[in-house]
């Protein structure tokens, strides 16, 4: 397979929905051995992953009732909350560099989203989306801080 053929297969695999590497394996398998190559390549990508998933699920069945597993799973929520708070603190610290009004608007939007989610039962993604929209309207469009654009 030439570099150009591989590049074309890569580009085609990126267009397909789902797991792009499985699509790439299928295209390479087709090039190498026709439909038998497709089956072999896709099976070679999927069977090990499926076997690992089955083994881990069976292993979880064995340890799910243990107190250690329950404690580990109970600790996931506080850790996630702590990571979220730490990320928010980093974002607020970065927004303080743009001025107090900017930071105050960011903190108000964050607190509003939190209160809406916790006390009003608004779904978390809805609260985040509404907070983003309110923040964008309150702060307006700011020019990019670098000359390079990530879009376009």
DSSP 22-47: HHHHHHHHHHHHHHHHHHHHHHHHHH
In a domain, 43, yes or no: yes
Domain boundary among 20, 39, 63: 63
Q: Is the pLDDT of residue 32 over 70?
A: yes
Report the number of distinct structural domains present in the chain.
2
pLDDT in tens, 9-30: 888 888 877 788 889 999 999 9
In a domain, 42, yes or no: yes
By three-state DSSP, how is residue 132 classified? helix
Same domain assignment for residues 31 and 81: no
Same domain assignment for residues 59 and 87: no
Question: 0.85 exceeded by the pTM?
Answer: no
In a domain, 68, yes or no: no
Q: What sign for the dihedral angle of Cα 86, 90, 91, 96?
A: positive
Cα gap 118→127, rounded to integer Å: 10
Q: How many CA atoms lie within 13 A of 74 on its CB side?
A: 8
Same domain assignment for residues 42 and 80: no
Same domain assignment for residues 85 and 39: no
Q: From the DSSP assignment, how many helices (H) and strands (E) are in the chain?
A: 6, 0
Could you tell me the residue range of the domain that residue 100 belongs to? 76-139
């Amino acid at each position: 397979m030439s570099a150009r053929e591989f590049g074309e297969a890569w580009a085609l695999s990126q267009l397909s929905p789902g797991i792009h590497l499985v699509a790439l394996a299928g295209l390479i398998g087709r090039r190498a051995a026709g439909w038998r190559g497709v089956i072999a390549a896709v099976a070679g990508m999927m069977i090990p992953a499926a076997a690992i998933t089955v083994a881990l699920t069976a292993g979880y069945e064995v340890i799910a009732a243990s107190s250690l597993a329950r404690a580990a799973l109970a600790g996931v929520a506080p850790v996630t909350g702590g990571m979220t708070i730490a990320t928010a603190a980093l974002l607020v610290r970065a927004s303080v560099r743009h001025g107090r009004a900017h930071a105050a608007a960011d903190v108000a939007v964050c607190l509003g989203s939190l209160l809406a989610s916790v006390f009003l039962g608004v779904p978390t993604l809805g609260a985040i989306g509404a907070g983003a929209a309110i923040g964008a309207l309150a702060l307006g469009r700011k020019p990019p801080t670098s000359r390079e654009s990530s879009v376009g």
